[in-house]
Structure 1
Amino acid sequence: MANVAHYVVVPEHGDYELYVFKWGATGLDISLLAGPDITISHFRASENAWGNWRDEILCEAAALVDLRHKVLLFFAWEGPTTTFLLHPAAREWHDHAWTGWDVRWAYSGLAELHEYLGLDPQAVSCPSQEVYPGWVLAPGDEWLSECGT
């Protein structure tokens, strides 16, 4: 089990850099409060993903730092500030830590980072959105009596 996060740095010149951190998802929202310099150093110290994106199921958080346009685009499925109730306060904190930057929440998750980079958002989407419900037990079901309930 892991909490995979992708980190993307768009340098002032050249193509984007993609990093992956196996334990980076939980708390990414709070980690970004360190501001641009520390965040970029942390991202670049992570494992280079060599262009191998995880899909939206395996990647639980991601952040893109665009040095050309001063944009921070991120999302996290878990973490202290990920509830919509706290978004206004978290937005204020991130705006303060990233003064002069355009701070954005990626509501569409990893697909939104892909779109920002001009990549196909379907490349990171889950291949099947089909739902496979389990079987349903009814009161008095024979299986329940075998379980001692």
Structure 2
Amino acid sequence: MAHVRNPAGASRPNAYSCAFMVTDNLNAEAVRAFNEAIRVPVLDPYYFFLDHTEMRIKAWTDSGPTFNLERLPIEGFFYTTNGAASGLQNARIDQKKYYDKTGGVFVPIIRIDFPVDRSAQFVFQYFAAEQNVL
């Protein structure tokens, strides 16, 4: 926490943020790192409210005898209206591509409205009119 809050990073706050590696070959260390990534923002939710948190996964290969597009853990195509632009159009494109490649598997488009302050909640909404395929 001392490193993250380092005043030297005030002009570039993300320069002092932390990343936790969770690659397969790290085994138990990956588990500890994952748990810390979940725990750290809870230590100071006010500080981390304005910072982004994300989890990145390695892209899977789309070939081989065990690949099955329908078994990918895709539960939705999410977009936000916060910021300069809406991601709805990209979500619609992704939904249609997935639908076509899987032979008609439907995965919904979900809008996320981020809280404007620490007392507000995230809002997740489904709108039939925004779906590219039904």
Higher helix share: 2
TM-score normalised per structure 1: 0.25
Higher strand share: 1
TM-score normalised per structure 2: 0.27
Larger relative CO (CA 8 A, sep 6+): 1 or 2?
Answer: 1
